[in-house]
Chain A
Amino acid sequence: MAESIRDKVAIIGMGLSKWGERWDTGIFDLVSEACNEAFTDAGIDKKQIDACWTGYYQNETATTGVVIAQTLQLQQIPITRVENGCASGAEVIRGAALGLASKQYDLVLAVGFEKLKDVGFGGMATAGAPGMVYPMYAAEFGAAPGRYALAATAYFRKWGLSKEEGKRTLAKISVKSHHNGARNPRAMLRREITVEQAMNAPIIAWPLGLFDCCGVCDGAGAAVMCRTEDVKKFAVKHPHDYITIKGFGVAASPGWGKEDTRFDFTYWDATEAAAKQAFAQAGIKNPRKELSLAEVHDCFSIAELIGVESMGICPYGKGKEDVESGAWEQGGEIPIGISGGLKSFGHPIGASGCREVMEFYLQFQGRAEDKSRQLKDVKFGLAHNQGGFPGQFICGITITGAPDV
């Protein structure tokens, strides 16, 4: 009989490389920066690590476990690469947690990373359809903005927003993300913007403009994890202010949304399903009230809008009201993307899921680098991480929390 993972596993140390266009760093450097911060933060020696889960999205690496072993000089331990598209980062932490909960290992490293800025052009070269060299998809280089934009058009239509109203709603989300990012020293983009700037920015893929899209960058995020029963043994630096896993949700959608007349592009079905799983494990009944913060996968402003609605944090179609009332801002009912989100951090694909969890970790420990963005009374945090495109998502949700809630 399956059991909830709630509180069985603890995160006792986390680290993040510097995120950005890291022309001077490679994969080894990114992994090293994130992992060494996590080891130092946990106060462990990497020799103690029993196993590792790592996440990397792009196809140009193989035997990626060896890359981690090479970088950190880990000696003959199990290292597993996972790939769930842009949700690979969430899967890294989940894999590590399952390895611990099943008592195969005692101390595990989870590290997600991505080196995107070696391609030689702006934007991203994205993969095709699952398992296919399908000409339609082959013609889809740089597809992410254009495919998410399909959802923006559909959202505007369904909820009766004029193009101007829709653009304005999305602009306000990006303004909020930039506001948060400007207060986070670890963010890549640290400049506030105005609604007018966002609305008048060059179009990337109508209706999405430049400020509706997250940046492309390099980065890595890492977590050191053990069973909660072992925190006394391993969590020397954070004997009390470690966090525990409250619940995971992972859902792969059947994937034919673009081709299925029932899908209207205004909800993320995988996010709905993953959220249900995660809330059930975590015992969360009213996420809007119970969550102290939610890091939502805002690769695009529309992704945040629909993502928040799909998790039930906001009723469907009411996102505009929330955005206008400031419900998702710091000090609002539920801060969304208090870190600055993917919008301000950029999205090194395999790393984002780890970074989102780290935001709660730092907030819980009172370690927000800029005190103006420190939240109070932090209990539960949600990290929403999704890969794919509207209609063909895979979603990973990680709920973490204080050990005693």
Chain B
Amino acid sequence: MVGIVSYGAYIPMLRMSRDVLGQVWGKSAGKGERAIANVDEDSITMAVEAVVDALTGMDRQKIDGIYFASVSAPYREKQSASIVKAAADLRDDIDSADFGNSIRSGTNALNAALNAVKAGAAKKVAVVASDTRMPAPNSDFEPVFGDGAAAFIIGDSDVAVSVEGSYSVSSEFLDVWLKAKDKFHWTWEDRFIKDEGWEKILPEAIKGVMKKCNVGPKDFAKAVFNGADARSHGDVAKKVGLDPKTQVVTPLFDSVGDTGSATAPMTLVQALEDAKPGDKILFANYGDGADAYVLQVQPQIEKVRNRRGIKKHLASKAMLANYGIYLRMRDVMEWGPSVRPLRRSAVSFVWRERKAFYSAYGQKCKKCGGIQYPRQRACMYCLVEDQFEPIRLSDKTGKLFTYSIDERANEIVLPLIRGVIDLDGGGRYYSQLTDRDPAKVEVGMPMELTFRLFFDGGREGTGFRNYMWKARPVRC
């Protein structure tokens, strides 16, 4: 049996009410809100969150592959999956690959993982879909797009949701596109896209998989697929004989937005959070064609419940009401020049200290047991030299020992909050605090670590993106 062994998801803490966009541009922007990646988040960092969520209670050493799917990978040349691998502390001797260029990339990656496991090339493969698509300001996309990620561990043992069959359609259909040098999305008339794209291609794949697996629409406890919008999503359901009210899990259009490659995978996680053993689930994903699957929920599902997933991440939020800050975060305007010095880092330095930066490894003294970060040659506690074993700190929690709130730092979004976190079980982590409300930061508050972008060398400095683990108040 091959299928989903575990699942996880991530929704950034920040949300923007569509009313904000309506006010900014003086027109209706619809109801609800959209999830907004923080200034230090991108498709890679959100993928790490989702993968780590999916790895809850699992041995990370047993993952044989990592497939990253996104249409908003931060690098055009330079793999994202390998960064996710490092941050999630997976083995080095595994396959890593990026899938992109289509919002179907999530299921393209899923297919690759399923095939790898079926072929015996891997026992467990992590698949993650993550997107932070940047809509053009004042475009029809702006209120619609949201940021989020979902991850699945695919394997052939301890399967929680088996894949009974799949069906794929490939189509050269043009709906939304970005050419190599485009900053913002092109599109064709929405009625054309729905009539000839979403509402023909998705039904074709869904009917295809039902026929292939010899099941009918009534056999499904739930149906999960992406959609052009809520209305078109309902129309697709009706076209394939599903009841939108009782069977269909609607994507989080109103609370998260359209998360591109991650929309269908996130909706599937949402469905799995309430799925019962024995449930049959229809799963389909549109984009340059479509993929459709018949899934069977197994008893093992009861053992993969304690994830943050969709529900907990959705409930944990902070509203971003300031459109100017949003523009600063996304760097979409021309800003005034600055005479402040550029931040510097070095590729060779980050490479040398990669275990610290990407995987938040510190070291534990073999003599006195003292835990320290970053790497050093002599133990700060017992002074013995070079007697250390590596220890992963990224999954530690801790308490905020002290902090300061810097209103003048050279940061894209102020204030900069510095924190000293005493980790549970030993060790101390000095860090910026992210995803926090400055008014609620207090000494003693529980903290955890999260993989974030420190600064973008494309904006300043040495050209590459500097990632590192930051501290944040325990999210949920």
Contacts and interface: CB of A to CB of B under 8 A. Distances in A.
A138 B455 contact: yes
A139 B418 CA distance: 11
B406 A125 contact: no
A256 interface: yes
B430 A136 contact: yes
Interface stretch (A81-89, A144-152, A190-198): A144-152
Interface string B420-457: 10100011111110000000000100000000001100
B404 A149 contact: yes
A260 B372 CA distance: 7
Given A141-B410, A258-B420, A154 B402 contact: yes
B374 A146 contact: no
Given A120-B339, A205-B404, A138 B428 contact: no
A202 B407 contact: yes
Nearest to A122: B408
Nearest to B407: A203
A123 interface: yes
Contact of A149 (B346, B380, B406, B422): B406
B326 interface: no
B466 interface: yes
Contact of B443 (A125, A134, A139, A157): A157
B44 to A, nearest CB: 15
B74 to A, nearest CB: 16
A310 interface: no
Between B374, B406, B429, the greatest number of chain A beta carbons within 10 A of the residue's beta carbon is seen for B406
Contacts of B429: 259
Interface in A203-261: 203-208, 254, 256, 258-261
A138 B404 contact: no
A1 interface: no
Contacts of A143: 406, 409
B408 A142 contact: yes
B256 interface: no
Interface in B302-355: 338-341, 343-346, 349-350, 353
Given A138-B454, A139-B454, A260-B428, A133 B344 contact: yes
Interface residues of A, number: 44
Contacts of A259: 372-374, 380, 428-430
B409 A135 contact: no
A147 B404 CA distance: 7
A147 B418 contact: yes
A62 interface: no
Contacts of B411: 139
B357 interface: yes
Contacts of A205: 404-409
A135 B380 contact: no
Given A149-B404, A206-B405, A260-B380, A141 B426 contact: no
Interface string A80-124: 000000000000000000000000000000000000000111110
A153 B402 contact: yes
B14 interface: no
A203 B350 contact: no
Nearest to B376: A256
A132 interface: yes
B407 A133 contact: no
B418 to A, nearest CB: 5
A150 B417 CA distance: 10
B86 interface: no
B468 interface: yes
Between B338, B416, B420, B432, the greatest number of chain A beta carbons within 10 A of the residue's beta carbon is seen for B420
B220 interface: no
B402 A146 contact: no
A134 B345 CA distance: 7
A265 interface: yes
A134 B353 CA distance: 9
A270 B422 CA distance: 22
A120 B407 CA distance: 19
B346 A136 contact: no
B426 A153 contact: no
Contact of B344 (A138, A154, A254): A138
A331 B240 CA distance: 91
Nearest to B401: A154
B87 to A, nearest CB: 14
Given A145-B408, A146-B418, A258 B340 contact: no
A153 B443 CA distance: 8
A139 B343 contact: yes
B432 A139 contact: yes
Interface in B338-397: 338-341, 343-346, 349-350, 353, 357, 372-374, 376, 380-381
Given A205-B404, A259-B380, A138 B418 contact: no
A68 B381 CA distance: 43
Nearest to A138: B343
Contacts of B406: 142-143, 145-146, 149, 204-206
Given A203-B407, A205-B405, A205-B408, A258 B428 contact: yes
A141 B341 contact: yes
Contacts of B349: 132-134
Contacts of B374: 134, 259
Contacts of B372: 256, 259-260
Interface in A149-208: 149-154, 157, 202-208
B432 A150 contact: no
A138 B466 contact: yes
Nearest to B469: A136
B380 A121 contact: no
B408 A204 contact: yes
A96 B422 CA distance: 43
A136 B374 CA distance: 11
Nearest to B423: A261
B405 to A, nearest CB: 4
B404 A258 contact: no
A254 B343 CA distance: 26
A259 B356 CA distance: 14
A311 B362 CA distance: 34
Contacts of A122: 408
A206 B339 contact: no
Nearest to B346: A133
Contacts of B404: 145-150, 152-153, 205-208
A256 B373 CA distance: 9
Given A153-B404, A204-B408, A256-B372, A141 B340 contact: yes
Given A142-B406, A157-B402, A135 B350 contact: yes
Nearest to B409: A142
A138 B457 CA distance: 11
Interface of B: 338-341, 343-346, 349-350, 353, 357, 372-374, 376, 380-381, 401-411, 415-416, 418, 420, 422, 426-432, 443, 454-455, 461, 466, 468
Interface of A: 119-123, 125, 132-136, 138-143, 145-154, 157, 202-208, 254, 256, 258-262, 264-265
Given A157-B402, A205-B408, 15 more contacts: A120-B339, A132-B349, A133-B344, A136-B430, A138-B343, A140-B409, A146-B405, A146-B409, A149-B406, A149-B418, A202-B407, A203-B405, A203-B407, A205-B404, A260-B380
8 contacts: A132-B349, A134-B374, A138-B344, A140-B409, A150-B403, A154-B443, A157-B402, A258-B430
